[in-house]
């Protein structure tokens, strides 16, 4: 098992790694919409979604993987009304159709509006 951390994505807000590589899989920890340059949550749902996927892309790249290797996505939304908007932005980042679970939650760290975690294949 190998842990992954990169300054190209926000550092974890707790005692965990940005990702872990185990055999041929990359387990990316849940990401909220933090800008790694400012270490602050970006404003607005749409911006948070985009920031999350930019962060995931960077973590996966450092891990020897990529967006196209994602096999499982888990989404945590604080507002069920954001589901359709999320899907529209999601489709711009993830063109294939990995397995996915969406869960509605009461609240998330740093008052984030959503959190996304992924599992991807390590291609290196």
Domains and CATH numbers, the chain: 2-121 (3.30.1330.40)
Residues 7-15 have a mean pLDDT of 91
Q: Does pLDDT of 13 surpass 90?
A: no
21 in Cβ contact with 4 (< 8 Å): yes
pLDDT tens-place string over residues 47-103: 999 999 999 999 999 999 999 999 999 999 999 999 999 999 999 999 999 999 999
In the numeric block, the tokens 């005692």 are attached to 15
What pLDDT does residue 41 have?
A: 97
Residue 95 tokens, joined: 């063109």
Residue 96 tokens, joined: 């294939």
For helices 83-93 and 45-62, the axis angle rounded to 10 degrees is 30
| Alpha carbon distance 52, 95 (integer Å) | 16
């Amino acid at each position: 098992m190998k842990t992954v951390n990169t300054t190209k994505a926000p550092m974890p807000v707790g005692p965990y790694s940005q990702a872990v590589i185990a055999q041929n899989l990359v387990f990316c920890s849940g990401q909220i919409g933090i800008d790694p340059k400012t270490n602050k949550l970006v404003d607005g749902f749409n911006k948070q979604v985009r920031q999350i996927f930019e962060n995931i892309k960077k973590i996966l790249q450092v891990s020897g993987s990529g967006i196209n290797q994602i096999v499982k996505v888990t989404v945590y939304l604080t507002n069920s009304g954001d589901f359709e908007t999320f899907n529209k932005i999601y489709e711009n980042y993830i063109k294939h159709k990995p397995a996915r679970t969406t869960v509605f939650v009461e609240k998330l760290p740093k008052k984030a509006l959503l959190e996304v975690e992924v599992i991807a294949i390590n291609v290196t």
